Structure 1
């Protein structure tokens, strides 16, 4: 689920048309339009490496979050009509926080 919702290593994103296409393609427009989603533009190896950084506290209070800097596209819902979700895209390189679980640890949740 984490990979489906948050990882796109093949694109650079950043445009609204990218967000409109990817949100639909990845199943985040049904049954309702998801308000906001972040796509990480790094390969899974780089994202797994974030799981190897020191643990930090997650928003839910658990201590299984980790942080790193990656290229991302944030997609924010701007409107919808007749089931057609419209998004605005914004790209940046920024700090992200992900929750990791397992042995070896793998990403399971985008925390911010």
Structure 2
């Protein structure tokens, strides 16, 4: 037996299947989870740092993004306010009851993964599109899925 235990080792290694990059295991499963990653930050952000997490999912520099300085729970409560028409014509949008702090990020240069952004603090109302929760979402009547 020239190879000793090596044929068994090769069989075991070959049965593992394809190797996935680390980010592939952490993909958000629902639109609400993706909304939280893209748009929720409980405080002000520095865009060059904050956008890394957003950009890692699609492996590109997102041209612009807004982070709401609030909790997911509070933004989900906005979904219970009166409906209004979204920019795409659908009627599942809701405007916040109050002005909140937010950070607007705009891509200024660089290519993925070295994207560079300007950081602009803002205070204003926001509008979100909401849908019923999917399995894995918090048990709210409606959850935010898009920042309009």
Q: TM-score range by the shorter chain?
A: 0.7 to 0.9
Q: Encode CA deviations 1:26-66: one digit per residue, 9 max, x unaligned.
A: 33585321100000110122111111111000011000000
State the distance in 2 between where 1:77 and 1:65 align.
26
Instruction: Give the structure with the higher percent helix.
Output: 2
Task: Identify if the C-alpha distance between structure 1 residues 81 and 32 changes in structure 2 by more than 3 Å, giving closer, same or farther.
Answer: closer
Q: Where do 5+ consecutive residues of structure 1 fail to align?
A: none
> Structure 1 residues 30 and 64 mapped into 2: Cα distance closer, same or farther (>3 Å)?
closer
**Aligned equivalents of 2:143, 2:125: Cα separation in 1:** 18
Aligned residues between the structures: 106
* d(CA) in 1 for partners of 2:58, 2:72: 26
Structure number with bigger Rg: 2
- Indicate conservation of the 8 Å contact 2:55/2:62, yes or no: no
Partner of 2:117: 87
Q: Which is strand-richer, 1 or 2?
A: 1
Of 126, 130, 141, the match for 1:100: 130
Deviates more, 1:81-90 or 1:44-53: 81-90
Paired with 2:81 and 2:68, the residues of 1 have a C-alpha distance of 17
Query: Structure 2: 5+ residue runs without aligned partners?
Result: 1-33, 134-140
The answer to whether residue 39 in structure 2 is matched with residue 2 in structure 1 is no
TM-score by length of 2: 0.66
